[in-house]
């Protein structure tokens, strides 16, 4: 039993030992796992020690070659960060632009170095990592993480400086704006008025040369760093605002609301020509020179910027106004307006070519100018070539019922003289020459003169036709007297009269004298003989019979005088000298005969109770009545009617008489 008890105790002790051993093993398990996990790292750490000495020695030079460029890149990075204070300091640009640009140049140079070398240095480091991995000289996991980092460094990045360059460029751009704003005052009104009257030279630049130099330097750096569009926009807005402000005082609202009537366009066209010359030769020429100085050799940028400034100057509005003149209602006066617009543009032709020619940015201005010139030439030639037809078409229109000068005569005489004046003749000749050249035809000044003379001669041919339209022959004499005298008086000592010649003019003066003679003979010349003395001097049947004869002759005279005066009171002689001469002749024909008659025979009837029936006029009263004859009254415009069915000619002729009605 003791043996059994001893065995039991021994067995119990073994079980306890086994339990304790199991618990110890359980406690040692995590430590074993930690050791197991640490073993690879330990193995990697000791691998270089375990690596062959030759491989370790061979890796050294490769590592040195890769680390050298990387160290240089890091040194440049440090230099870039050192440039932050001078570049971001307040007032640094305005205080010392040259110094600021020098520092900016160092930054740009550093960034170019980083851009060119950062990727290369990272690539060399990546090659070393790959080499170490291939030769099992470092921990693979460490090498893998390092490879991922280096792969990111190899990709190009635009933020190598942390935004320092962008901030510096923003400061330069702000200084660019400030310089423009500080030197962008509009042209003084006094200088505008001076240049408006004589716009032969560009306005003096209000930007000092030193400031222009600064603008150019800043512009170079901004454009070199990709800010071209922003620079052009800033410059165009600033200088365009200056031009707009300079023009605002001129009052250019008329450019946007042109009238559709050539007669009313006259003052506007004259003002338009002066303003256009001022804008082109003074303002825009000054801006062109400034653009060239600021942009330097960047011709395309200067052209684009100048085109925007020209747009602010309203150059297209000026061209649109010229187009409105070309599109105005057809009218002979429109020819003068077209010639005036063409002349203004032609005077500025070289300036337009210099400012806008050959510049892609100014294509719209070039095209609109070219189209406007063509419209002006075509429109002017069309109206000029129709003038002769228009005059001939009026041959069968009724003449003035009062025997006065037709408005057409007054208008054509004045109109043709204007066409041959120094103001219009060379311009019209140039327009006709250009138009003929488009058709491969030639033109000479003699052809122009002949065309105008043919218009005048066609008008002259209308006189006889118009005179025959009167039912009263005496009125036709008055009409011919008026018209020939008006022709002579208004053509003498004029350019047109010189071309027609003295002999031609003298014929009209002679015609005037002839028709005045026949007018007096057939009208008042038949009234005064009614007061004849036949039968009164030698009358032998007594006083009563003589009184009856005097009464009868006074009654006949009064009736004839009243009828003649009534008719001729509605007639006119527009020219004062001719009217006074004619009235004088009428007075001379009637008053002396009436005075003498009344002195000799008036007493026979003046004491009669019915004397007022026969002695209706006193001598003075009669003279006053006759002296007041033929005075023109205001005419109402539009007394001529157009009856032709041809739309083109009807439209033209309506305009012709609308123009003619304004002459009187």
Spatial neighbors of 579 by CB under 8 A, at least 6 apart, are 573, 630, 631
Q: CATH second-level architecture of 166-184+206-388?
A: Up-down Bundle (1.20)
Number of helices and strands (H, E) in the chain? 27, 0
Q: How many C-beta neighbours within 10 Å does residue 533 have? A: 15
The CA distance from 641 to 287, in Å, is 54
The pLDDT, as a whole number, for residue 663 is 37
- Angstrom CA distances, 15 to 11, 20, 26, 32, 243, stand at 6, 9, 16, 25, 111
CA pair distance 458, 389, nearest whole angstrom: 9
First to last CA, the chain: 169
Q: CA-CA distance, 466 to 394, in Å (whole number)? A: 9
pLDDT at 605: 83
What is the mean pLDDT, run by run of 10 residues, along the chain of 664 residues? 74 75 69 62 53 59 60 62 75 83 79 60 58 59 62 55 79 89 72 51 72 91 88 89 85 84 86 92 90 87 87 88 91 94 95 86 90 96 94 93 94 94 95 94 91 94 95 96 95 92 94 97 93 65 70 92 95 96 96 92 78 87 95 60 38 46 40
pTM: 0.74
Distance CA 322, CA 279 (A): 15
Longest distance between any two alpha carbons in the chain, whole Å:
226
Res 430: pLDDT:
95
Write the DSSP string, 452-469.
Answer: HHHHHHHHHHHHHHHHTT
Residue 300 confidence (pLDDT)? 84
For every residue of 368-433, which 3-state class applies, written as one string?
HHHHHHHHHHHHHHHHHHHHHHHHHHHHHCCCCCCCCCCHHHHHHHHHHHHHCCCCCHHHHHHHHH
Report the SS3 class of residue 553: helix
The two three-digit tokens of residue 533, written as one number? 């003395």
Do 386 and 465 form a contact (C-beta atoms < 8 A)?
A: no
pLDDT of residue 77: 59
Looking at residue 308, the DSSP 8-state letter turns out to be H
The CA distance from 245 to 248, in Å, is 5
What single-letter DSSP state applies at residue 155? S
Q: Is the CB of residue 524 less than 8 Å from the CB of residue 477?
A: no
User: 487: closest CA among 389, 572, 405, 372?
Assistant: 405
Can you tell me the distance from the alpha carbon of 109 to that of 80, in angstroms, rounded to the nearest whole number?
Answer: 10
> Which of 427, 431, 499, 486 is CA-nearest to residue 459?
486
- Tell me the two tokens of residue 70: 């990387």
Alpha-carbon dihedral 149, 151, 152, 157, rounded to 10 degrees? 140
d(CA 462, CA 408): 10
Instruction: State how far the Cα of 586 lies from the Cα of 524, in Å rounded to an integer.
Output: 6
- Rounded Cα–Cα distance for residues 93 and 104 (Å): 10
Distances (CA, A) of 275 to 199, 250, 282, 328: 9, 8, 10, 21
For residues 291 and 240, give the distance between their C-alpha atoms in angstroms, rounded to a whole number: 12
Residue 646: predicted pLDDT: 44
The CA distance from 18 to 415, in Å, is 141
CA 383, distance to chain mean position in Å, is 24
Supply 438's token pair: 């488009």
- Residue 659: strand, helix, or coil: helix
Written as one string, the DSSP assignment of 165-233 is HHHHHHHHHHHHHHHHHHT-PPPPHHHHHHHHH---SPPPPSS-HHHHHHHHHHHHHHHHTT-HHHHHH
Determine phi and psi for 61, rounding to 5 degrees.
-60, -40
């Amino acid at each position: 039993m003791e043996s059994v008890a001893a065995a039991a105790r021994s067995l119990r002790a073994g079980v306890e030992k086994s339990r304790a051993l199991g618990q110890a093993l359980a406690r040692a398990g995590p430590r074993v796992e930690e050791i197991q996990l640490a073993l690879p790292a330990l193995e990697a750490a000791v691998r270089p020690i375990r690596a062959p000495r030759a491989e370790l020695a061979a890796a050294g030079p490769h590592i040195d070659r890769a680390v050298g460029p990387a160290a240089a890149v890091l040194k440049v990075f440090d230099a870039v960060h050192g440039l932050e204070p001078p570049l971001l300091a307040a007032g640094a640009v305005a205080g010392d632009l040259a110094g600021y640009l020098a520092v900016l140049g160092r930054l740009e140079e550093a960034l170019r170095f980083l851009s060119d070398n950062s990727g290369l240095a990272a690539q060399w480091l990546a090659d070393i990592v790959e080499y170490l991995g291939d030769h099992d000289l470092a921990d693979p996991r460490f090498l893998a993480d390092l490879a991922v980092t280096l792969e990111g460094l190899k990709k190009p990045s635009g933020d190598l400086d942390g935004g320092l360059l962008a901030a510096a460029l923003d400061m330069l751009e702000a200084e660019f704006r400030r310089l423009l704003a500080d030197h962008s005052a509009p042209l003084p009104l006094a200088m505008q008025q001076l240049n408006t009257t004589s716009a032969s030279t560009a306005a003096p630049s209000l930007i000092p040369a030193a400031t222009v130099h600064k603008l150019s330097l800043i512009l170079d750096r901004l454009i070199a760093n990709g800010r071209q569009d922003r620079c052009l926009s800033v410059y165009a807005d600033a200088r365009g605002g200056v031009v707009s402000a300079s023009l605002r005082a001129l009052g250019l609202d008329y450019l946007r609301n042109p009238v559709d009537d050539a007669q009313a366009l006259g003052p506007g066209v004259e003002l338009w020509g002066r303003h256009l010359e001022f804008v082109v030769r003074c303002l825009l020429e000054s801006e062109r020179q400034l653009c060239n100085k600021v942009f330097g050799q960047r011709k395309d940028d200067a052209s684009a910027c100048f085109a925007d400034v020209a747009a602010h100057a309203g150059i297209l509005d000026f061209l649109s106004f010229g187009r409105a003149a070309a599109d105005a209602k057809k009218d002979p006066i429109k020819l003068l307006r077209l010639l005036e617009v063409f002349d203004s543009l032609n005077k500025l032709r070289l300036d337009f070519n210099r400012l806008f020619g050959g510049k892609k940015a100014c294509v719209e201005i070039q095209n609109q100018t070219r189209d406007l010139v063509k419209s002006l030439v075509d429109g002017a030639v069309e109206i000029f070539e129709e003038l002769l037809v228009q005059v001939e078409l009026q041959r069968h229109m009724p003449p003035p019922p009062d025997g006065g000068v037709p408005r057409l005569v007054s208008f054509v005489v004045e109109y043709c003289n204007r066409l041959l004046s120094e103001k219009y003749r060379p311009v019209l000749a140039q327009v006709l020459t250009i138009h003929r050249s488009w058709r491969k035809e030639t033109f000479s000044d003699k052809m122009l003169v002949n065309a105008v003379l043919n218009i005048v001669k066609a008008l002259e041919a209308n006189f006889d036709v118009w005179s025959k339209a009167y039912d009263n022959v005496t009125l036709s004499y008055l009409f011919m007297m008026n018209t020939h005298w008006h022709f002579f008086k208004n053509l003498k000592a004029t350019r047109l009269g010189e071309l027609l010649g003295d002999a031609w003019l003298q014929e009209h003066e002679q015609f005037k004298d002839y028709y005045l003679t026949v007018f007096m003979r057939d009208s008042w010349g038949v009234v005064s003989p009614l007061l004849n003395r036949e039968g009164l001097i030698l009358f032998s049947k007594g006083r009563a019979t003589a009184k009856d004869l005097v009464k009868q002759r006074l009654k006949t005279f009064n009736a004839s005088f009243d009828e003649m005066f009534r008719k001729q009171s509605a007639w006119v002689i527009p020219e004062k000298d001719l009217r006074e001469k004619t009235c004088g002749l009428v007075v001379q024909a009637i008053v002396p005969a009436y005075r003498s008659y009344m002195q000799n025979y008036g007493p026979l009837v003046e004491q009669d109770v019915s004397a007022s029936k026969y002695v209706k006029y006193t001598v003075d009263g009669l003279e006053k009545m006759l002296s007041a004859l033929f005075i023109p009254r205001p005419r109402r415009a539009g007394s001529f009617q157009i009856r032709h069915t041809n739309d083109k000619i009807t439209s033209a002729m309506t305009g012709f008489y609308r123009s003619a009605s304004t002459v009187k």
